[in-house]
Amino acid sequence: MKKIGLLPRLIIGLVVGILLGMSGIEIIIRLLGTFNSIFGNFLGFVIPLIIVGFVAAGIADLGKDAGKLLGVTVAIAYVSTVISGTFAYFVDTTIFQQLHLEDAAEMIKAAEANARSLSPLFTVDMPPIMGVMTALLIAFTLGIGAAVINSEVLKKGMQEFQAIVEKVISNIVIPFLPLHICGIFANMTYEGKTAAIMSVFVKVFIIIIILHAIIILFQYTIAGTIAGGNPIKLIKNMIPAYLTAIGTQSSAATIPVTLRQTKKNGVSDGVADFAIPLCATIHLSGSTITLTSCSLALMIIYGMPHGFATMFGFILMLGITMVAAPGVPGGAVMAALGLLGSMLGFNEELLSLMIALYLTQDSFGTACNVTGDGAIAVLVNKFAGNKLETKED
């Protein structure tokens, strides 16, 4: 199974789960429900650890590259991320009305009214050691403190803790996700909810990909206008980075290609070498679009409040919480689980659906992220007083 990618395994888990749910074999569904209960509780336990591990180390690392352009780069990356999420919200609220998500909502309500859900065989409580906001405050305090006092010992400790958290995700959470998704869809199918959810999946994905394309065009239009470059040519040069990110599903793994193509766009070597690795950890415009769109779709389907004030606060926090999300597939959604639960009120089932929704198109979100990194580098290059010196092959 190691040779099979995560996406195919997730799809296999989803299909097998639906088939098992349709079979109505209660003992198998209850066994899967038992696993889901344990795995879901484990996720709840590690969410605060993920937040501390990612955010604290990410903020502390910013201090290493302290300089004139650090604040500018971080500010541009954050604004780009927030604009992307906000843009996605307004477009989604308009388009989702045309998709008749209320039909799916009615199907969900009908299924819940006739619910025949099965309880797990047993449960294992795994209470988290702290709440989400406490974890965020600790992460901010440790990260900013380590950067201010330049404590190499503390930074190293946080980096090692981050490495432990990344191992937990890559060696435990990610490998068991297909089985978790299998159990979720087996129970949902048994309860009669799957048809409603699946009817929305494809439409939402198409909208997300279109939003990615629009935000990339917007980023390069701004960058090209300010820096004096042709936006279309700049985007064309970044296509290799986009395609590489689709294959790797990791901004970090794509850095060499993103660097090469950014320099081809005429960005100075010094600015590119500084901005691209930094943006790979702090700029997540594509991921924010995906998380905003998927969460909004689920909230509409389940009849949850989704006003702009609620979603905008969520988007603002996403830009911070996803800092230094790991290079493993799904790092952004793992870092966002705490916010989805605390700010949007997602329960275990909705969190599991968000993981499934996000991971099925993670590669496209990552591709949008890294392509946007090149636009930020173009802007930073201009603010550094450099002109674009286009390099031909």
- Torsion region of 177: left, alpha or beta (phi above 0 gives left; psi -120 to 50 gives alpha): alpha
Report residue 311's pLDDT band, with 50, 70 and 90 as the boundaries: very high
Asked if residue 182 lies in contact with residue 78, where contact means CB atoms within 8 angstroms, the answer is no
Residue 233 lies in a domain: yes
Residue 393 lies in a domain: no
Question: Quick check: helix, strand or coil at residue 231?
Answer: helix
What is the extent of the structural domain holding 181?
A: 6-384
CATH of the domain at 283: 1.10.3860
| Highest mean pLDDT: which range of 82-96, 166-180, 249-263, 275-289 | 82-96
Q: Please provide the average confidence, as pLDDT, over all residues in the chain.
A: 81
The amino acid present at 212, given as its one-letter code, is H
Residue 142 lies in a domain: yes
Report residue 121's pLDDT band, with 50, 70 and 90 as the boundaries: confident
Asked if residue 59 lies in contact with residue 147, where contact means CB atoms within 8 angstroms, the answer is yes
pLDDT digits (tens, 9 = 90+) for 182-214: 887 888 788 776 766 666 777 888 899 999 999
Residue 390 lies in a domain: no
What value does the mean pLDDT take over residues 359-386? 87
Query: How many independent structural domains does the chain possess?
Result: 1
Residue 262 lies in a domain: yes
Query: Among 219, 378, 196, 360, which Cα is nearest to 284's?
Result: 219
Residue 393 has pLDDT above 70, yes or no: no
Percent of the chain at pLDDT > 90 equals 19
pLDDT in the model for residue 41: 82
Q: How far apart are CA 153 and CA 142, in angstroms?
A: 12
Cβ neighbours of residue 78 closer than 8 Å, sequence gap 6 or more: 282, 319, 320
Residue 391 lies in a domain: no
pLDDT in the model for residue 127: 85
pLDDT digits (tens, 9 = 90+) for 224-261: 999 988 999 999 999 988 888 876 666 776 877 888 89
pLDDT in the model for residue 374: 93
pLDDT digits (tens, 9 = 90+) for 18-61: 898 888 888 888 898 898 888 878 877 887 887 787 767 766 76
Residue 274 has pLDDT above 70, yes or no: yes
pLDDT digits (tens, 9 = 90+) for 66-120: 455 677 888 899 999 999 999 999 999 888 878 776 666 666 666 555 556 677 7
Instruction: Specify the length of the chain in residues.
Output: 393
Residue 128 lies in a domain: yes
pLDDT in the model for residue 326: 47
Residue 392 lies in a domain: no
Q: What is the CA radius of gyration of the chain?
A: 21
Q: What is the largest CA-CA distance in the chain?
A: 68
Q: How far apart are CA 14 and CA 198, in angstroms?
A: 11
pLDDT in the model for residue 66: 45
Q: How far apart are CA 217 and CA 84, in angstroms?
A: 12
